[in-house]
Amino acid sequence: MKIIQKEISISSKPRGFHLITNEILNRVPEIKDIKKGIAHIFIKHTSASLTINENADPTVRSDMEKYFNICVPEEADYFEHTLEGTDDMTSHIKATIIGNSIIVPIKNGFFNFGTWQGIYLCEHRNYSSNRNLVITIIGE
């Protein structure tokens, strides 16, 4: 059994939900050598998040963005942490609801996903920079 850890930077993306499965597979070719294991994918930020959801229809991602904007409304008047704008505190809350890391099983060199699963980077800020991920693979 071995452990591999690397950091990758995902280029800045517009606010919303983005499929990044292929980008991760391309940037972490070490996954191909793992017969069974897990990959922990961690985002080093508190205003963007990671989730696994439907990988085919882009309206799932746009509906997600619409839903979470209603679920965590920027016009709420009780937030104090708004120094960087109305999307500041709401981004932190979305990150906690959605989560800052995922774990995917690996089988025979690939993510052991269901047919319709993919990895989303969820960008909650209006203007973001690159997002850094730490990927830790444990397996054999």
Per rule CB under 8 A, is residue 121 in the interface with a second copy?
no
Per rule CB under 8 A, is residue 97 in the interface with a second copy?
yes
The one among 10, 37, 87, 128 contacting a second copy by CB under 8 A: 37
- Phi then psi for residue 66, to 5 deg, are -65, -45
Residues of span 48-77 touching a second copy by CB under 8 A: 51-54, 57, 59-60, 62-64, 66-67, 70-72, 76
Q: Please identify which residue in the block is written with the tokens 């070490």.
A: 30
Contacts of 127 (CB under 8 A, 6+ apart): none
Q: Please identify which residue in the block is written with the tokens 């391309």.
A: 26
The nearest distance, CB 27 to a second copy, in angstroms, is: 16
**CB 136 within 8 Å of CB 31:** no
CA angle 86, 132, 83 (to 5 degrees): 20
Q: Which residues bind a second copy (CB under 8 A)?
A: 1-3, 5, 36-38, 40, 42-46, 51-54, 57, 59-60, 62-64, 66-67, 70-72, 76, 78-81, 89, 92-93, 95-105, 107, 112-114, 116-117, 120, 132, 134, 136, 138-140
